[in-house]
Amino acid sequence: MPIVHVYMWSEVSRKAKAKIIKGITKVFEELGIPPHAVEVVIQEVPKENWGVEGEQASEKLKEAKPP
């Protein structure tokens, strides 16, 4: 405990993934939870599968990219 599921658009860089995992784990460490107890799972989802305001992000947010 805790388990953290992160949902983002596909093609997050390897470096950003490392920072997300490290950063989120640290948030819990600062609350007194040992890092080995924290599991972070990043789920990458294609922009055409992600709906924003009733539209696919691949249409609505054409230029936007994940970190």
- Nearest 10 degrees: Cα torsion 43, 48, 49, 50: 80
Shortest Å distance, C-beta 62 to a copy of itself: 14
Q: Considering only residues 30-59, where is the footprint of a copy of itself by CB under 8 A?
A: 30-33, 35-36, 38-45, 48-57
Least distance from C-beta 58 to a copy of itself, angstroms?
9
> Does 11 participate in binding a copy of itself (rule CB under 8 A)?
no
- 10 touches a copy of itself by CB under 8 A: no
Give the 3-state secondary structure of residue 57.
helix
